[in-house]
A and B are shown apart, each in its own frame.
Chain A
Amino acid sequence: MPHTRLAESQRTKAARRDHLLRSYRPLAGVHDELVTPDGAIRPQWEALLDEWTNVTPDEMTRRKAVADRHLADAGVSYRIRAESSLDDMLSGERSWPMSHMPLPISEPEWRAIEAGVIQRASLLEAVLRDLYGPGRLISEGALPAAAVAGSPDFLRPMKGALGPDGQQLQIYACDLGRGPDGSWWVLGDRTQAPSGVGYALENRLAMARAFPDLYRALNVERLASFFQGFRAGLVSGARRADPRICLLTPGPLSETYFEQAYLARYLGFLLVEGGDLVMRDDRVHVRTIAGLKRADVIWRRIDGDFSDPMELNAASRLGVAGLLHAIRQDNVVVANSPGSGVVESRALMSFLPRLSRKLLGEKLLLPNVATWWCGQAEERQEVLDRINDLAIAPAFRCDLIDASEGDHLLMSEQDERTRAGIIAAIKTRGMDYVAQEVVKISTMPVLRDDGSLEPRPFALRVYATATPEGWRVMPGGFCRTSDRLDARAVTMREGARSSDVWVLSEKPVAQVTLLPPPDQIQIRRLVGNLPSRVADNLFWLGRYLERAEGVLRLTRTLLGRMIDADARLPGQQEAVKRLSGLLVAWGAAPGARTPPLRQAFAALHGLDHYGSAAACIREAKRTASVTRERLSVDAWRLIGDLTRRIERSNDDLPTEGEGYETADRALRALAAFAGLAEENMNRGDGWRFLEIGRRIERAITTCRFARQFGEAAASAESLDVMLDLIDSQITYRSRYLVGVAFHPVIDMVLFDEYNPRSVAFQIARLDAEVAALPKMRDDGLMEAPRRLSLKLAADIATSRTDQVDRSFVLTIEQRLMNLSEAVANRYFLQAGIDAPGRKA
């Protein structure tokens, strides 16, 4: 009976709800998002829980797995700040911790937040325009000069650089917390290069994929229009139609590199490092394989002070020499403007209520956490009088106080000595400190492993962007929850999780995507010009992968011979010796006295041998990680897979059979990568450099096989090994009924253009790809790499086996290396950049 089933399902829903809420106990004295002080569930949560409890526990498990897989597949990761070397970075990756329970916010409440954030963005924009412009706030006494001068982000050369109408902030973020009385407070401003917007987007995509029904039923507002507005704002600032927009990253060591790569791909911006950019004629250009291309807009994710070594921090290698001059000449738009970070300081926060009244004639809609800058005598005294109720924090820099919990020192928790030290410091250099009211922020529910909810403090980062139509706020945000109940500890470093933020619209929301209307889409088959650095990395990715393949083939063949029943025959022993000799020569294994099994083990796993498969794969992963925005999710996953196959945690020697198996599996993963590149990568210049790298390396490797095993006097076993190494046993047997002989084998290895593993095959492909690379000469002459590849292809195609000896093969090998160098000289970045030494 339907009636009973309904009752039944309601009973089930009630049971699920009870399970969710069974151990939820809000903290005393703080606001809780889920329940009111008298124990009622708040309406926006009521709506969410009603949908949430429709999902069966099994289904819920599957959905969470969908979300997690989405995040893991996209390689979502973040890095802790202390990590400095690339190795640390690669090993330090973790999957992104996302709590599956979103934070719902009702539409009316959101409109109030939105208005407050827009007001604050406008205020900070006005403050910046004044500070870097006429300076009235200071001359009229609204702001003490020392409260500005102390900020390392007050970049003096930017004074007057933008002109009165130049936009200072294109993107602004504001960290909010909800106080005990239920109203939202501003905890901090982010005006330098706000991070997290990509993580918010990524969280949203994961949640929308896992919970599409909830997402639709609750009318969750979409994020795409925010990004559309952001892009439109950047475009409108540029001086050319169809401008080239670059995201300037500090590089893969940056804490938020993944986010930057992700956003560049999502927004269609070129991801560049400082070394990719160069000034010519007071304009910024990107070095690409087709020469210098103008950069019109730079979204910088490097600190302002690092953006120009000529006028700012001379030690910076992250920026572009001459950038500030280009800004002054109005030849480039940099968002946010270098120097915009000055209004992030806590010292400035204490003046914002006053500045709002002065500049906007309005009260702040979202109040600050009460802040006192101790540079002023009166405020300092006030702070000293009640210091035990307050938290002390650096006014400008973060490295001033030794505080284990974020950068605030809660005075009531300090011992007498620390307290005396802080008081003395404030009396001497009060301008370095602020005091802040200790605010307890509200808690929201997060899911425990058993599927029930528990309260955790959180901070909400909200973003605004300057669009041609004015400020637009992202309906949602980046919400970080603490793992502890301490309502002040909310930094990502402390192992906190994030949540998606759902603004629940009161009516169905319009579908917005980043796609323009169909009639505005211009058909393009290839996108933009490849930056030289990216070409360089893809080339080396190809070479390292192929080098790993060569080592794996050698090792597999070596182990195969050792397993072989005939291993004792003199010919076989000779073959084993030659194989292990090649591994040693390639730097993959330790020297001659080491037993072959130990050598094979080193060649597979030995990271301390630079030529080992493990070391080559590590290098491949490194080059892949810095071109991640160019690689598909599948390609990235295969590289991870490869690393796992070759990693070995202990030093126990495996058996020959195990080693053989490892090499074999790794070779299969490599074949999968090659197949993926072949089938799924666009035949653009990126693919071309990967291909050129692979072909050059494979041709060189094969030449080396030929030199080691293919002498005219080589034994049948040696020739047999060579057929193994180039995977051509079956072909050979089917073509030649006699046993292995020098001429047919060497033809198959060097000249057979039908054999995809022959040197001739590699060179023919190389020549075709090199011919397709962009040309920069305007005199009609052939570019240097093509001259080399064409000649080499012709020579190989017209050679015969009776010409072959060691020196013949060696010459080919050297010509291949010359070709590699010619490609590098012509298309990649030249040399390093150095500063002349200095001495007073």
Chain B
Amino acid sequence: MLYNIRHITTYTYNTAVPFARCVLRMFPREEPGQNVISSELRLTPEASERRDSICFFGNRVTTLTIEQPHRALSVAVTSLVDVLQRGLAGLDLSLSWEVVRRDAVEHGGLEPSSPVHYLYQSRSVPIEPGPVAYAAKSFSPGRGMLEAATELMHRIKADFVYDPKATVVSTPLAQAFENKRGVCQDFAHVMISGLRGLGLPAAYVSGYLRTIPPPGEKRLEGADATHAWVSVWCGDGLGWVGLDPTNGIMAGNDHIIVARGRDYADVSPIDGVIIGSGGQSIDVKVDVEPLG
């Protein structure tokens, strides 16, 4: 499926900002199953300095410096991405979660996709007793890894309420879990915390969902903003499998991947420092158009 994606973020400041430096993680990553045909940035005001690089986890990172005073900053990224059919071909579904747990910690490499990076608590995902006990219910002894993780995903979809007003970026995981409310980021973090607490590797994926559903299907939650879901390591054979607890589906043709990391902090679309004293407001628009 070919997608045309427009992602526009606008910051408006109450007083002029003389200097800003920021990091963008907004260009979709190139990886098997996903072909990035083009990806362009339009920045207003223009940057005095731009540097593009690939971070440890393989995400595309752009560092910008703006040296002219501005009261508004607009970051507009337009990407053309071809998502190929992601399927689970030739699977070994019999691998139990206990075996996956053992194989993960004994994995012999530090490459970006190595499960060892995704085993421990991270900046935004502490390992909390609540989510761990919640997750444990799906992991009965000897159960297949993917089967158990899929059930956990469905339970989160069923037990949690999608409510953009319930949380903000900085809401602690424990609070979102307690209230059983939040957005994609919260659901992903809850699921990751639960899995890691059981000793299982889980990664955070940021990206987009197609905006317009196929005829006759319901519009998916989170389609008008950036989206996030979970990638679960299911052993050396099967590798990483994307599970979307917000929608209760496996990440497939409707999911466009921008970045992968341990949690939101590794992949947040815009991080930065500005020099200025006034307040600010922010507006985000995302539009994902399937071209067929």
| A residues in contact (CB < 8 Å) with B | 135, 138-139, 141, 144-146, 148-150, 156-157, 159, 279, 309-311, 313-314, 321-322, 325, 375-377, 396, 428-432, 830-840
Contact with A along B223-249 (1 / 0, CB 8 A): 001111000000000000000000000
Question: Using Cβ atoms and an 8 Å threshold, which residues of chain B touch A311?
Answer: 23, 55
Instruction: Determine whether B274 belongs to the interface, using a CB cutoff of 8 Å to chain A.
Output: yes
Given A150-B120, A838-B268, A839-B284 in contact, is the A309-B109 Cβ separation under 8 Å? no
Name the residue among A146, A313, A430, A835 with the largest chain B CB count within 10 angstroms: A146
A377 to B105, CA, bound (A): 10
Check A831 against B120 for contact (C-beta < 8 Å): no
Contact across chains for B264 and A833 when beta carbons are under 8 A apart: no
Q: Given A146-B107, A157-B55, A840–B185 Cβ distance below 8 Å? A: yes
The reply to whether B206 and A840 form a contact with Cβ atoms under 8 Å apart is yes
In the assembled complex, the CB of B18 is this many whole angstroms from the nearest CB of chain A, namely 8
Question: Cα distance A149–B108 when bound, in Å?
Answer: 11
Cβ < 8 Å to A, chain B residues 252-284: 264-265, 268-277, 280, 282, 284
A144 to B119, CA, bound (A): 13
User: A150-B119, A837-B280, A840-B226 given as contacts; is B108 within 8 A of A145 (CB)?
Assistant: yes
Q: Does B197 contact A (CB under 8 A)?
A: yes
A149-B116, A836-B272, A840-B184 known; A157 and B56 CB under 8 Å? yes
Q: List the B side residues contacting A428 at CB < 8 Å.
A: 197-199
Query: Is the pair B268, A314 in contact by a Cβ cutoff of 8 Å?
Result: yes
Residues of B within 8 A of A314 (CB): 265, 268, 271
> Which of A135, A377, A835, A837 contacts B273, CB < 8 Å?
A835
- Complex Cα gap A325–B21 (Å): 13
- Across-interface contacts of A139 in B (CB, < 8 A): 108-109
A156→B109 CA distance, assembly (Å): 14
Q: Judge whether B165 is part of the interface by a CB distance below 8 angstroms.
A: no
B114 touches A145 (CB 8 A): yes
| Chain A residues with CB under 8 A of B226 | 840
Q: Which of B23, B110, B183, B199 contacts A429 (CB 8 A)?
A: B199
Query: A376 — which chain B residues lie within 8 A by C-beta?
Result: 105-106
How far, in angstroms, from A375 to B116 measured CA to CA in the complex? Answer: 11
- Chain A residues near B73: list those with CB within 8 A: 836
Asked if residues A141 and B108 are in contact (CB atoms below 8 Å), the reply is yes
For A145, give its contact among B107, B127, B197, B277 (CB under 8 Å).
Answer: B107
How far is B282's CA from A310's CA once the two chains are assembled, in angstroms?
20
Residues of A within 8 Å of B104, CB to CB, are 146
Q: How many A-B residue pairs have CB under 8 A?
A: 133
Quick check: B120 and A149 within 8 Å, CB to CB? yes
- Contact among B22, B110, B183 for A840, CB-based, below 8 A: B183
Residue picked from A375, A377, A839, most chain B C-beta under 10 Å: A839
The residue that A836 contacts in the complex, of B56, B198, B199, B280, with Cβ under 8 A, is B280
Is there an interface contact between A836 and B22, defined as CB atoms closer than 8 Å? yes
Q: State whether the Cβ of B41 lies closer than 8 Å to any Cβ in chain A.
A: no
B163 → chain A closest CB, angstroms: 14
Do A831 and B277 touch (CB < 8 A)?
yes
Q: Which of A135, A313, A430, A432 contacts B110 (CB 8 A)?
A: A135
B63 contacts A310, C-beta separation under 8 Å: yes
A647 smallest CB distance to B (angstroms): 35
Evaluate whether A833 and B274 lie within 8 angstroms (CB atoms) in the complex, with A145-B116, A314-B265, A840-B185 already known.
yes
Task: Check B117–A149 contact: CB distance below 8 A.
Answer: yes
Minimal Cβ-Cβ distance residue in A for B126: A399
Which residue on chain A has the smallest CB distance to residue B168?
A839
A823 to B275, CA, bound (A): 19
Once bound together, how far apart are the Cα atoms of A279 and B57, in whole Å? Answer: 25
Q: Are B275 and A149 in contact (CB under 8 A)?
A: no
Q: Which listed residue (A138, A309, A832, A840) contacts B228, Cβ 8 A?
A: A840
Closest to B274 in A: A834
Known: A836-B22, A839-B282, A840-B184. A309 touches B106 (CB 8 A): no
Q: How far is the CA of A149 from the CA of B123 in the complex (A)?
A: 14
Query: Smallest CB-CB separation from A432: which chain B residue?
Result: B120
- Please determine whether A377 and B102 come into contact, CB atoms closer than 8 angstroms: yes
Closest B residue by C-beta to A314: B271
Are B119 and A431 closer than 8 Å at their CB atoms?
A: yes
14 new A-B pairs (CB below 8 Å) besides A279-B21, A314-B268, A831-B277?
A139-B108, A139-B109, A145-B110, A146-B104, A148-B116, A149-B120, A156-B57, A429-B199, A431-B199, A830-B275, A832-B276, A834-B274, A836-B282, A838-B271
Report how far A311 CA is from B57 CA in the complex, Å. Answer: 12
Do A429 and B197 have beta carbons less than 8 Å apart? yes
**Counting chain A CB atoms within 10 Å of each CB, which of B105, B184, B284 scores highest?**
B105
Q: Which residue of B lies closest to A837 (CB)?
A: B282
Residues of A within 8 A of B218 (CB): none
A431 CB contacts on chain B under 8 angstroms: 105, 119-120, 199
Least Cβ distance of B115 to chain A in Å?
A: 8
Across-interface contacts of B137 in A (CB, < 8 A) = none
- B residues less than 8 Å from A432 (CB atoms): 120
How near does chain B come to A134, taking the closest CB pair, in angstroms? 11
Which chain A residue has the least Cβ–Cβ distance from B107? A145
Neighbouring A residues of B264 by C-beta, 8 Å: 840
CB distance from A480 to the nearest CB of B (A): 31
Indicate with 1 or 0, residue by residue over B47-73, a CB within 8 angstroms of chain A CB atoms: 000010001110000010000000001
Q: Which 9 residue pairs are nearest across A and B when measured between Cβ atoms?
A: A156-B56, A149-B116, A831-B277, A146-B116, A840-B185, A314-B271, A145-B116, A150-B120, A146-B105
Within B90-129, which residues are at the interface with A (CB < 8 Å)?
A: 102, 104-110, 114, 116-117, 119-120, 123, 127
**Most chain B beta-carbon contacts within 10 A, residue among A135, A314, A830, A836:** A836
Chain B stretch 131-179: residues in CB contact (< 8 A) with chain A? 168-169
